[in-house]
């Protein structure tokens, strides 16, 4: 079998405009996320794409051979071209896996596929986040203990305006008292979708070993070729 083909898409905007973000992610968040995938999935083919490239790096032919697309966006959701969103949606329905990270909850593709506002509560206060594994047998939770923690993250709180997930893998608790459905699976057509909450741009979340493990596990799950 050929190796799993993954693209990590990053909007790559705040890395260029905010020195605090550039200090943590000097090569862009997408490169750090891709490095984590290469660490855990050495056999896979891991590429990157950004908003600024022609077709946002997602030309028809490239997307046609992609098995998993990982998406991080925040400030520039509105700048993503609608015809590219159409293209991604078609590929998901054909069977491409999609992993949407953090502020990607407001991306066009996530809202399109889920069909709900995808809104939530939030607060940037560097709070501790504890991610509880609520589906310990799930492939996305492989290798994790009962929970893991991030010392400083943005808080996301309920209500999270999404359809009830087909599978709930993580629920987060935050220092301020809120909880959030932080790891959710859905299926659309033949495609698998995973939303994973952590990853605010001013914290080194994508350098965290557990976070990297989860994204790699999710790539394996989302790209699992009809199994």
Binds Zn ion (CB under 5 A): choice among 15, 127, 154, 208: 154
Q: Closer to Zn ion at the Cβ: 31 or 154?
A: 154
* Dist CA 35 CA 167 (whole Å): 27
CB of 102 to Zn ion, least distance (A): 6
Please check whether residue 113 is in contact with residue 89, taking contact to mean a CB–CB distance below 8 angstroms. Answer: yes
Q: Closer to Zn ion at the Cβ: 81 or 123?
A: 123
200 binds Zn ion (CB under 5 A): yes
77 binds Zn ion (CB under 5 A): no
Q: Stretches 24-32, 97-105, 145-153, 159-167: which one binds Zn ion (CB under 5 A)?
A: 97-105
Q: Stretches 11-19, 29-37, 54-62, 199-207: which one binds Zn ion (CB under 5 A)?
A: 199-207
* Dist CA 220 CA 224 (whole Å): 6
Q: Closer to Zn ion at the Cβ: 11 or 154?
A: 154
Q: Which of 88, 140, 137, 139 is nearest to 112 (CA)?
A: 88
Q: Closer to Zn ion at the Cβ: 56 or 105?
A: 105
Please check whether residue 41 is in contact with residue 33, taking contact to mean a CB–CB distance below 8 angstroms. Answer: no
* Dist CA 173 CA 52 (whole Å): 35
Residue with tokens 């997307």: 63
| Torsional sign, CA 155, 158, 161, 166 | positive
Binds Zn ion (CB under 5 A): choice among 12, 66, 103, 217: 103
Binding site for Zn ion (CB under 5 A): 103, 154, 200
């Amino acid at each position: 079998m050929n190796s799993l083909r993954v693209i990590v898409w990053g909007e790559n905007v705040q890395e260029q405009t905010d020195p605090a973000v550039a200090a943590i992610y000097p090569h862009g968040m997408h490169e750090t996320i891709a490095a984590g995938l290469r660490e855990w999935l050495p056999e896979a083919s891991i590429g990157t794409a950004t908003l600024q490239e022609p077709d946002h790096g997602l030309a028809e032919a490239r997307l046609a051979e992609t098995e998993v697309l990982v998406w991080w966006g925040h400030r520039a959701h509105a700048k993503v071209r609608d015809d590219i969103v159409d293209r991604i949606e078609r590929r998901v329905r054909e069977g491409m896996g999609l992993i949407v990270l953090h502020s990607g909850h407001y991306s066009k593709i996530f809202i399109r596929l889920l069909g709900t506002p995808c809104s939530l509560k939030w607060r940037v206060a560097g709070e501790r986040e504890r991610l509880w594994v609520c589906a310990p047998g799930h492939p996305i939770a492989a290798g994790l203990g009962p929970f893991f923690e991030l010392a400083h993250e943005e808080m996301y709180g309920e209500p999270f305006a999404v359809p009830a997930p087909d599978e709930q893998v993580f629920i987060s608790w935050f220092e301020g008292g809120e909880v959030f459905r932080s790891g959710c699976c859905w299926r659309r057509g033949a495609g698998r979708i995973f939303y994973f909450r952590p990853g605010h741009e001013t914290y080194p979340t994508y350098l965290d070993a557990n976070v990297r493990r989860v994204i790699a596990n999710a790539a394996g799950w989302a790209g699992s070729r009809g199994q």
